[in-house]
Amino acid sequence: MSETDISFRDRPINMDEKGSRKWVYAKKPKGKWYTRRTVFSWFVLLFFVGVPFIKVNGHPFILLDIASRKFILFGAIFWAQDTFILTLLMLSFVLFIVLFTVTFGRLWCGWACPQTIFLEMVFRKIEYLIEGDYRKRHKLDKGPWTGEKILKKTAKHSLFIMISIAMTNTFLLWFIGYEKWFEVIAEPIGNNLSGFLIMLIVSGFFYWVYSFFREQICTMVCPYGRMQGVLLDSKSIVVSYDYKRGEPRGAKSSGDCIDCRQCISVCPTGIDIRNGTQLECINCTACIDQCNSVMKATGKEPGLIRLDSDHGIQHGHKTIWNVRNRAYSVVLLILFSFFIYTLLTRPAIETTILRTPGLLYQENTDHTISNVYNIKIVNKTHDNIPLEIRLISHEGEIQMAGNTMDVKDQAMFESTFILFIPEGQLKSDKTEVEFGIYSNNELIETYKTSFVSP
């Protein structure tokens, strides 16, 4: 094998010996898998654009309100206090990705990752439309700046900029909700100057990624791609070249691969899948379509490149289940069940009562001692809850500062109150007191804290 043949082991395929970028002019894929991927991408794009507009009983289906530290996922509200439940959900998600990768390789990257969906199904399709397929694009890029080239490049980049701005604003909908977004854009820019500048910077970043940086996100930046080495094994189903059938390659050789290099021409990361599973392969399946069309033209069986495992290619049958993914499935099931249990059994409200910092106690003329407390109640439901606080461990009186305790849906109630306890009930300088939070005379939560006295 010549040095050139094994250069993929030393450096990314889209880089030359000096480390300079080699632009990938991928051919437009065509075939069964590309059609499936296109249809699937419509659903992913619809999900991305449509979810912020979905309401369940008048509430967002998903809202990632980082500013208020409030997250609504599938209609359920999570506050900062629910970090444990959110951690369980995130762990389940990570484990699911691991399980999926162990079983089906990097299929997520090629089919569902927003980076690939936008690059291959939005930006690249606009490029095909305006500049044509790979040969025409290559010729246009290398050619002089004619009127046609200026026109095509201006049209393409104008559309890219517009889509980048639309993408940023769609992302924004996930974080602030569409009502707030409509409010913000109706106001003069000066009212939200910092937000506007952030929007421009993010849009500029998207434009740069999809116009120039492109597949390097997958091959050089994304940490997920780098985990493949530890996640994949010989039974993982990945886009594979059947070397047993294909080799020896060449038009006059006895193997089925005629060495036409068509599989390389469609690859968005520019690799040769015949070199085996590589970090740069995003499992987009474009090479399967391309090779199948070559097999059809040469009168051979399709599937020289197919979704299969190394084990499947060596032994002629593929098995999806193995010890590793069975074990991951069990752990995932346990973790997800625990998440569901904690979600279903979490209290409707969460109360925090703490003595006001910096204040000690007050001795009153009516022979009572008083302490000042801050109270915070988070309502995790979609209903307004009228609440009342009572002292249940001692006889005493609570004087709430102003507000009635009517906690609005998905809102946080914060206030201050003074607790008076007769001196005779206090046996030491620090007494544990217990409060009851009632709604319509029903005790729904208790909270213990300390009361200081002389």
Binding region for ligand SF4 (CB under 6 A): 239, 241, 246, 257-263, 266-269, 271, 273-274, 281-287, 290-291, 294, 304-305
| Pick 237 or 426: Cβ nearer ligand SF4 | 237
Residue closer to ligand SF4 by CB (options 30, 326) is 30
How near is the Cβ of 129 to ligand SF4 at its closest, in Å? 21
State the minimum distance, in angstroms, from the CB of residue 252 to ligand SF4: 13
Residues 6 or more apart in contact with residue 181 via CB below 8 angstroms: 169, 172, 173
Per the structure block, which two tokens stand in for 313? 């290619």
Cβ-contact 117, 45 below 8 angstroms: yes
**Closer by beta carbon to ligand SF4, 294 or else 389:** 294
Q: Which is nearer to ligand SF4, 121 or 202 (CB)?
A: 121
Pick 101 or 453: Cβ nearer ligand SF4: 101
DSSP class of 254: S
CB 304, min distance to ligand SF4, A: 5
**Whose Cβ is closer to ligand SF4: residue 76's or residue 291's?**
291
Nearer to ligand SF4, 272 or 388 (CB): 272
Shortest spacing between CB 214 and ligand SF4, in angstroms = 13
Does an H or E element contain 241, and which? strand 238-241
Strand locations in 356-441, DSSP E? Answer: 362-363, 368-379, 385-386, 388-391, 397-400, 406-407, 412-422, 430-439
* Between 271 and 426, CB nearer to ligand SF4: 271
Helix (H) or strand (E) holding 295: helix 286-297
Least separation in angstroms between CB 37 and ligand SF4: 10
Could you give the 3-state DSSP secondary structure of residue 78? Answer: strand
Tell me if residue 384 falls in helix, strand or coil: coil
Quote the radius of gyration of the chain (alpha carbons, Å): 31
Q: How many residues does the chain have?
A: 454
* Inter-axis angle of helices 323-345 and 83-104, nearest 10: 160
Q: Are 300 and 311 in contact (CB under 8 A)?
A: no
Smallest gap from Cβ 234 to ligand SF4, in A, equals 18
The structure tokens 């039974």 sit at 235
Task: Please measure the distance between the N-terminal and C-terminal CA atoms of the chain and give it in whole angstroms.
Answer: 88
Which 8-state DSSP code applies to residue 347?
-
CB of 379 to ligand SF4, least distance (A): 48
Strand partners, 369: 363, 421
Closest separation between CB of residue 321 and ligand SF4, Å? 23
**Exposure of 120 in the CB half-sphere (CA atoms within 13 A):** 34
- What gap in Å lies between CA 265 and CA 272, rounded to an integer? 9
Q: Least distance to ligand SF4 from the beta carbon of 106, Å? A: 8
Reported as type and span, the H/E element at residue 349 is: strand 349-355
**In terms of CB distance, is 14 or 290 closer to ligand SF4?**
290
Asked if the peptide bond before residue 386 counts as cis, ω within 30 degrees of 0, the response is: no
362 touches 391 (CB < 8 A): no
- The CB-of-330 to ligand SF4 minimum distance in angstroms stands at 30
CB of 77 or CB of 271, closer to ligand SF4: 271
